[in-house]
């Protein structure tokens, strides 16, 4: 993409929100993923429900969904959109890695990639916050867009 093709700048080369008025409404879906690494004992205590602040995964799930709903308030050029679905799921390796996946869907004029990425990021930060008393060395990494569908640019799938 040439610098003259950048869409988030006005004629004065200042930031603007892109005009999506003439775009068609289509179903748009995005899946994002993030991984948080922790001590084995921390993951075991999460599964056993023995974290002092409560049910870590339940709280992180709600935090991720709330984050998807508030993305346009956090990312300056993000359009406020009506999300028709926001979900968070968790998977782990049974040792030290907990993977968070979000799925966000809308029918609209702009995509939901930022909402999906924000959801997994805030869910990971929530896990960190709830477990930091016992494991300050947790690391959040590999946050990425797994897949997106819909819109003018079509389908994107991250390489394995």
Name residue 148's beta-bridge partners: 30, 156
Q: In what order do the strands lie in the sheet with 156-157?
A: 83-92, 97-108, 26-37, 139-149, 156-157
Q: Which of 2, 4, 11, 129 is catalytic?
A: 129
How far, in Å, CA of 97 to CA of 141, rounded?
Answer: 10
Is 129 one of the catalytic residues?
yes
CB atoms within 10 A of CB 84: 14
Catalytic residues: 129
């Amino acid at each position: 993409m040439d610098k003259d093709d950048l869409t988030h700048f006005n004629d004065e080369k200042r930031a603007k929100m892109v005009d999506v008025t003439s775009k068609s409404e289509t179903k748009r879906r995005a899946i994002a993923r993030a991984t948080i690494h922790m001590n084995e004992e921390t993951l075991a205590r999460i599964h056993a429900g023995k974290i002092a602040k409560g049910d870590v995964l339940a709280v992180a799930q709600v935090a991720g969904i709330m984050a998807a709903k508030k993305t346009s308030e956090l990312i300056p050029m993000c359009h406020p959109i009506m999300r028709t679905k926001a979900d968070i799921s968790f998977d782990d390796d049974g040792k030290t890695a907990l993977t968070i996946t979000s799925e966000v869907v809308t029918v609209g004029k702009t995509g939901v990639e930022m909402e999906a990425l924000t959801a997994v990021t805030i869910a990971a930060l929530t896990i960190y916050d709830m477990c930091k008393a016992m494991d300050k060395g947790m690391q959040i990494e590999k946050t990425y867009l797994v897949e997106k569908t819909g819109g003018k640019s079509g389908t994107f799938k991250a390489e394995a």
